[in-house]
Amino acid sequence: MRRRDLLCGTAALATVAGAPLAAAPAARRAAGDGLPMPAPTDALPPPAFVGDPSRIRLERGWLFHEGDVAPPRLDTHNATYLSVKAGNAQGAAAIDYDDSDWQRVRLPHDWAAAQPFVASANVAQGYRPRGIGWYRRHFALDARDRGQRWELHFDGIATNATIWVNGSVVAHHWSGYTGVYVDLTPFARFGDELNTVAIRVDAEAMEGWWYEGAGLYRHAWLVRRPPVSIASDGVHCDPRRGADGAWQVPVAVTLASVARDDRAVRVEARLLDPAGREVARAATDATVTALDETEARLSLAAGAPLSWSVERPTLYTVVTRVTGDGITDERRTRIGFRTARFDAEQGFFLNDRPVKLKGVCLHQDHAGVGVAVPDALHRWRLERLKAIGCNAIRCSHNAPAAEFLDLCDEMGFLVMDENRQFNPAPDYMAQLQWLVRRDRNHPSVILWSVFNEEPMQGTPAGVEMVRRMAHAVRALDDARPVTAAMNGAFFEPDSVSSVVDVTGFNYYQGDYDRFHQLFPTRAMTSSEDTSAFETRGAYASDPARHVISSYDDEAASWGGTHRATWRAIAERRFVAGGFTWTGFDYHGEPTPYAWPTISSFFGIMDLCGFPKTAYDIHRAHWIDDAAVVSIAPHWTWPGREGQPVRVLVMSNAEEVTLSLNGRALGTQRVDRIMGNEWQVPYAPGRIEAVARRGGRAVATAAHETAGAAVALRLTPARRVMLGDGEDAVAVTVDAVDSRGRHVPTANLPVRFTIEGAEIIGLGNGDPNSHEPEQGGSRSLFNGLAQVIVRAATGAGAATLAASAPGLRGARVSIARRALAPVPNWPEQRRAQPLAEWRRSPALSQRPPADVAPPDGDNNSWAFVRAGALVAGGGWRAWRAVVTPWRRVGAEGGVIRFDKVAGRAELLVDGRPIASKRDAAPAPLEARVPAGAGERVVLLLVEGGAEPAGIAGKVTLGAA
């Protein structure tokens, strides 16, 4: 079934000059109750794009330990000798390390999001301790899959990581933002032997001056491919329009081999239109040398396809397939047919039409979940931006999640894709090249940014560094320009602006005209601007309480207000556009205040995506195809009767009239950039703004005075979610008065319970709140809080309940539509092996419970391994001494014999726990009580005509 998502909210049609005018995407709730969020939608998100069916999620069954684990002291020559051999990692990286009492977690996982706020922790990281953590995962591979290519992919690990597979180091990774690809093939084990992945994550290392989280915070994958296959990120589809207007799609396919001999393969590419119909096909043959790579090139004649644009993001698909003797491998790559260029005089052009970049800078961070943002929440955040007319995203200052770019392709955003580390040394150049290889097929990506605000940007060394990095980018993708986000040095004799294709201005708006005059052939854009401060829902600054007014009056010394900044950009055609700092608030960098402030004030929206006044300012600036009007502030000011209230009205119409309780307060010609203001003596009631074009009303906005809060309300972003165990929905929490109106001044604690889903995050947008962001309670801040819920699997309902002292509680149900869970590689719960046994000689009588070889006797009892049977009648004792792993020692566990031949009795510490009366080989298991230290396991077996004893493996594991 094809499903299409809807933009936030609905509203009645308005008209302009007699023509229908669609309501703005940010339309408020039809009920007019004052809640500053859109009404719920019944739309489900469309299925996630699957480009590589060889990849299977590896996200459940991980074990996590917070804190470092010191390796054991190497106190002998032999221990030291073995420690440096392959497969013999020590401590928590060792195959046989006891991880039984580690916490079970699922990925994506940000362990810092659950940390308390601590004044002594790093201010830039939002006062959350990060530290060091360990992850371990065990899994089995079928023996029939030997000879295939196996890889591990980790899309993001914050921050530095060392990865071991089966006791061997396989990767060191020095960035929290670029992916880690591990060739698992030479280290893999098949059949009964489990594979063990261990990862040490050093989150003390920092790459940024913002909250970066900690841990395996993006998706992880196990990859199974044939011995000759398409390499990871090995397809480059690069649509080009010829001089005759016809489109071609050159396709370059990198093939990799783990085979033992050279292989001949067939490479085929097909172009599919949005409906899945084939448009073009091409094929070629290739020979791939064993353990080597080769590249196959094809070209697809696309003719006159539909264009990809911001308004109509039409996507085609290139299906690339490799076939041969026992080989089939396929990739699906979505592409868009569009041209993009920057002009030094006229700005940015998409499909040869001028488009002003109405952009925001984004960090991957959201209230409650930290950097472990679910895919569905990425979509919701982008919907919130689309609703204000935003058409561009700067991924600041690092590679985004791959799924984020998929969404930008689908939803029609233009993306500045940014590199993190400014360094052309091999380790860091590899990170830049990885970024370009992974992202170069996305039609949404229009710019590569090689750095952000580097002090060396005006030096000869900086120029040489950029030359090399830009060259590396162009070698992989010559279709997109290279930029750098500069914060100065524009006029230095040695400036990197001379060696990039587009000069990025971070602030310095006063230098736009001078730069353009001196360098009229250099294209330019504002790569970062504004840095204005607002506390959502506050309309008077209080420095003592770290509260900043939301009238768009205050900004950092290097920035400007939202209105003044956009005016400088909008008035200059040669400035391609701008990227506001920032779309959402984010943890860390708590400018202009420090402790106890733990997040930024910069966002157009707060940490939860709740709108500030800046939200409506940008709606007026950026929405051209629908009428908008808004009023700030709310109209609930008890105790201020008769006192003047500053009222800011933003609109994109021609004129606006403000009225209070039906009495007109005046009509003003709309100032679309700066807005219109009134000083209104406060009186309870209804304040309303009516926007007009051609004398006709085209949009209205109103606030009503709310009474005392009497009840809670829960409003989900969607009334339906997928029952796949992955889908997530943001639920708005607010308080209402006796008439059901939103109370914007409510600040009170709320508790939550849930069934049919789980709460994965809580927030309220307060930059000064130290309440936990995970758990079951959160206070309203200036009338609002948020709960992020993740669906259980299967059909049914997710039911969230909220309660607060003195108020009526609230319940909301979100329908769950059954959908097969996202495939995850099966979990393997590792058990402690009991492989080494002492076996007694044959005995004519049943041995006593304390039977054991005499001290020092290494001869009369045999040393045997599980699986060794012995013929002959009589009784024999199989005895093992084991120190159980910590979890079993603390909680008890289960001992499992895969197969015991003969009649048998099982004892632990001299106490019988199970028996087997049938002599035929069969499993035997029993519960082992808790107990620390060494335990004695005794299996008494009575033989007969057939061999008897322990016929299979024995394990001791958790119940």
SS (H, E, C) 435-488: HHHHHCCCCCEEEEEEEECCHHHHCHHHHHHHHHHHHHHHHHCCCCCEEEEECC
B/e letters for 53-63, b = 16+ CB within 10 Å, e = fewer, are ebbebbbbbbb
Read off the tokens for 544. Answer: 């003592």
In percent, the amount of the chain with pLDDT more than 70 equals: 97
Quick one: average pLDDT of 512-534? 98
Q: What is the pLDDT of residues 283-300, one digit of tens each?
A: 999 999 999 999 999 999
912, 918, 922, 926: CA torsion to nearest 10: -20
Burial class (CB in 10 A: 0-12, 13-18, 19+), 242: exposed
Specify the pLDDT at position 572.
98
From residue 899, alpha-carbon distances to 839, 846, 862, 882, 911 in Å are: 17, 21, 20, 20, 21
Q: What is the pLDDT of residues 166-213, one digit of tens each?
A: 999 999 999 999 999 999 999 999 998 899 999 999 999 999 999 999
Phi, psi for 517 (deg, rounded to 5) = -70, -40
Specify the pLDDT at position 3.
32
Q: How many residues does the chain have?
A: 959
Specify the pLDDT at position 23.
32
Mean pLDDT is lowest, of 189-193, 345-349, 478-482, 580-584, for: 189-193
Angstrom distance (rounded) from CA 239 to CA 553: 46
Confidence of residue 7 (pLDDT cuts 50, 70, 90): very low
From residue 605, alpha-carbon distances to 209, 273, 767 in Å are: 20, 37, 12
**Per-range mean pLDDT, top range of 27-41, 573-587, 854-868:** 573-587
Q: Are strands 893-901 and 922-928 parallel, antiparallel or unpaired?
A: antiparallel
The number of CA neighbours under 13 Å toward the Cβ of 259 is: 22
Q: Which residues contact 386 (CB under 8 A, 6 or more apart)?
A: 7, 25, 411, 412, 413
Burial class (CB in 10 A: 0-12, 13-18, 19+), 684: middle
Specify the pLDDT at position 856.
84
Angstrom distance (rounded) from CA 581 to CA 541: 20
- Per DSSP, the residues of 581-644 read E-SB--BS--TT--TT--B-S--SB-TTS-B-HHHHHHHHHH--SS--EEEES-S--TT-TTSE
CB 732 within 8 A of CB 35: yes
Quick one: average pLDDT of 746-763? 98
Is residue 282 over pLDDT 70?
A: yes
Angstrom distance (rounded) from CA 465 to CA 457: 9
Quick one: average pLDDT of 116-136? 97
Confidence of residue 12 (pLDDT cuts 50, 70, 90): very low
CB 251 within 8 A of CB 239: no
Confidence of residue 32 (pLDDT cuts 50, 70, 90): low
Mean pLDDT is lowest, of 112-126, 687-701, 852-866, for: 852-866
Looking at residue 524, the DSSP 8-state letter turns out to be E
Q: What is the pLDDT of residues 226-246, one digit of tens each?
A: 999 999 999 999 899 998 999
Round to the nearest angstrom and report the end-to-end CA distance of the chain.
42
Is residue 621 over pLDDT 90?
A: yes
CB 682 within 8 A of CB 643: yes
Quick one: average pLDDT of 126-130? 97
Specify the pLDDT at position 799.
97
Is the alpha carbon torsion for 119, 122, 128, 131 positive or negative?
Answer: negative
Q: What is the pLDDT of residues 297-311, one digit of tens each?
A: 999 999 999 999 999
What's the CA angle centered on 123, arms 120 and 125, to 5 degrees? 110
Specify the pLDDT at position 31.
40
Is residue 826 over pLDDT 90?
A: yes
Burial class (CB in 10 A: 0-12, 13-18, 19+), 651: buried
Structure-token match 């959908």, residue found:
819
Confidence of residue 16 (pLDDT cuts 50, 70, 90): very low
Give the neighbor-by-neighbor strand order of the sheet with 220-225.
Answer: 55-57, 220-225, 149-154, 180-183
The larger pLDDT score, comparing residue 629 to residue 820, is at 629
Quick one: average pLDDT of 502-523? 98
Q: Which residues contact 792 (CB under 8 A, 6 or more apart)?
A: 723, 725, 756, 757, 758, 798, 816
CB 528 within 8 A of CB 579: yes
pTM: 0.93
CB 248 within 8 A of CB 258: no
Specify the pLDDT at position 868.
81
The larger pLDDT score, comparing residue 32 to residue 697, is at 697
For the chain, the average pLDDT equals: 94
Q: Which residues contact 858 (CB under 8 A, 6 or more apart)?
A: none
Q: What is the pLDDT of residues 658-679, one digit of tens each?
A: 999 999 999 999 999 999 999 9
Q: What is the pLDDT of residues 374-398, one digit of tens each?
A: 999 999 999 999 999 999 999 999 9
Is the alpha carbon torsion for 808, 781, 529, 373 positive or negative?
Answer: negative
The number of CA neighbours under 13 Å toward the Cβ of 758 is: 11
From residue 625, alpha-carbon distances to 21, 313, 403, 619, 765 in Å are: 7, 17, 29, 11, 30
Quick one: average pLDDT of 624-639? 97
Is residue 27 over pLDDT 80?
A: no
Specify the pLDDT at position 82.
86
Structure-token match 């073009």, residue found:
280
Q: Give the three-state DSSP class for 788.
A: strand
Quick one: average pLDDT of 428-451? 98
Is residue 64 over pLDDT 50?
A: yes
